[in-house]
């Protein structure tokens, strides 16, 4: 990598910056100390945060020094949303979330060597500050007329809900973060999403007022969206989280496996650490044989390994194969099997019974007679074993982990039956 700016641009990670020539020179002369902030407004990061987390990793691999800020202070306030006020969480909850987010970010970074990463918390420099000190030392240097022009503020002012002073003041807090990190660590670059541009420049303005000789920069990455217009990182079940208790590794893997062909090239460049040559080859394969979903599988495997580890990724891939008859269902551990089956159409019954009843119950056949036809035509499977008798009955000893049945019609139509008393 000869020029990190060129690399970011090729990958679609460069939306806008302050003086690009000056930024390019600073990064080339490096190493540059930079920071990116993450607010603990939930118990986990979601896949939308991966753009920033992995861009931090990319910049560190290029030789620069990252400061990963998890906002114990700003997390209690809430960055303005476009439509409504955030729900404020109590300090104890936010503190717990700070710990959880730190543990999710840390594995992506290196904390050794000359450009070792540092985790920081803005509560460290705000907790002891009085309101009077904040207004005198920070608020004095902001102009309300300029604050009103920020996109996130302007949109809210035009809405019926308006905006509270709490959320309006968020940009002062983020601006103070940049100033503090500049003074404490020599941080000269703030990185964030393009929706944060107003907050990024607020920090620049504050530093320029108080440290007139400082050369500081801002870099914004584009917001990722889906080609169909829906929000990236969302599914019918809600956000796709990095915490395995909130989104299972299997569901995480499936999210990437199901990426639209129109989006996969964009997502690969932004999120994958494969070389240009590898990515261009995957893009070519996708164009020639989209049905193979080669690029989606490559990205799903890479990101599942990054987030959940190689062992979990291997278990997920084994489960995916086993569901379609390419592996042994009985060899899957109960947690992985349950996570995989949770993504399928499923029904709950109190006891196993005739295969025709189960196929109709779960919707793999519109009726029992249709289920019999499926069996007669050789297209019915229970736990990957072909059903040959139209009056076949499933017994308790066939249940996987004493609880589950995997039903399949043909090659691709899957469903799950959970057998549970009551």
Mean pLDDT of 376-386: 93
Kindly report whether the peptide bond that precedes residue 105 is cis, defined as omega within 30 degrees of 0. Answer: no
Mean pLDDT of 203-229: 91
Q: Could you give phi then psi for residue 310, rounded to 5 degrees?
A: -65, -35
Tokens of 229: 């217009």
pLDDT (0 to 100) of residue 84: 75
- Helices 261-271/50-61 angle, 10° precision: 40
Res. 360: pLDDT tops 90: yes
- Domain locations in the chain? 4-221, 226-331, 344-422
254 to 248, 285, 319, 349, 400: CA distances (angstroms): 10, 20, 11, 26, 22
pLDDT (0 to 100) of residue 1: 40
pLDDT (0 to 100) of residue 83: 73
Report whether 354 contacts 393 (CB < 8 A). Answer: yes
Tokens of 405: 């049945």
Distance CA 169, CA 91 (A): 18
Report whether 71 contacts 181 (CB < 8 A). Answer: no
Instruction: Assess if CATH 3.40.640.10 describes domain 4-221.
Output: no
Mean pLDDT of 200-216: 93
Of 296, 319, 316, 321, the C-alpha closest to 305 is 316
Tokens 């035509």 appear where? 377
Instruction: Assess if CATH 3.10.290.10 describes domain 344-422.
Output: yes
CATH, range 226-331: 1.10.240.10
Q: Within 13 A of 26's CA, how many CA atoms are on the CB side?
A: 23
Q: What is the pLDDT of residues 276-289, one digit of tens each?
A: 999 999 999 999 99
Mean pLDDT of 344-357: 91
Contact residues for 255 (Cβ-Cβ < 8 A; gap 6+): 47, 235, 240, 247, 300
């Amino acid at each position: 990598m000869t020029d990190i700016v060129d690399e970011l641009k090729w990958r679609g990670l460069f939306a806008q910056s302050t003086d690009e020539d000056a930024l390019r020179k600073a990064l080339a002369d490096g190493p540059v100390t930079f920071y990116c902030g993450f607010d603990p407004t939930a118990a986990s990061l979601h896949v939308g945060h991966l753009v920033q987390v992995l861009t931090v990793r990319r910049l560190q691999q290029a030789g620069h020094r990252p400061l990963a800020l998890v906002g114990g202070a700003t997390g209690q306030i809430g960055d303005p949303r476009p439509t409504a006020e955030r729900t404020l969480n109590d300090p104890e909850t936010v503190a717990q979330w700070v710990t959880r987010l730190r543990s999710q970010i840390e594995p992506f970074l290196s904390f050794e060597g000359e450009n070792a990463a540092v985790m920081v918390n803005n509560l460290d420099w705000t907790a002891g500050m009085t309101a009077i000190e904040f207004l005198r030392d920070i608020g004095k240097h902001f102009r309300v007329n300029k604050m009103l022009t920020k996109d996130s503020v302007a949109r809210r002012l035009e809405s019926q809900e308006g905006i509270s002073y709490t959320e309006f003041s968020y940009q002062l807090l983020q601006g103070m973060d940049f100033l503090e990190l500049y003074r404490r660590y020599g941080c000269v670059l703030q990185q964030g999403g393009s929706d944060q541009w107003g907050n990024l420049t607020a920090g620049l303005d504050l530093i320029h007022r108080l440290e007139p000789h400082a050369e500081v920069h801002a870099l914004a990455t584009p917001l990722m969206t889906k080609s169909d217009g829906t929000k990236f990182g969302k599914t019918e079940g809600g956000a796709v989280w990095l915490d395995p208790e909130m989104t299972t590794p299997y569901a995480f893997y499936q999210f990437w496996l199901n990426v639209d062909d129109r989006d996969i090239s964009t997502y690969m460049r932004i999120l994958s650490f494969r070389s240009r040559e590898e990515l261009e080859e995957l893009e070519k394969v996708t164009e020639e044989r989209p049905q193979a979903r080669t690029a989606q599988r490559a990205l799903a495997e890479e990101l599942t390994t990054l987030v959940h580890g190689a062992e979990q990724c291997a278990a997920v891939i084994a489960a995916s194969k086993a569901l379609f008859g390419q592996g042994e269902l009985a060899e899957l551990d109960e947690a992985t099997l349950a996570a995989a089956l949770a993504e399928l159409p499923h029904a709950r019954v109190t006891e196993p019974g005739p295969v025709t009843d189960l196929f109709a119950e779960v919707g793999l056949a519109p009726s029992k007679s249709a289920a019999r036809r499926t069996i007669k035509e050789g297209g019915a499977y229970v736990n990957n074993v072909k059903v040959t008798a139209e009056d076949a009955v499933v017994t308790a000893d066939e249940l996987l982990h004493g609880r589950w049945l995997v039903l399949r019609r043909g090659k691709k139509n899957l469903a799950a039956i959970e057998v549970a008393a009551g």
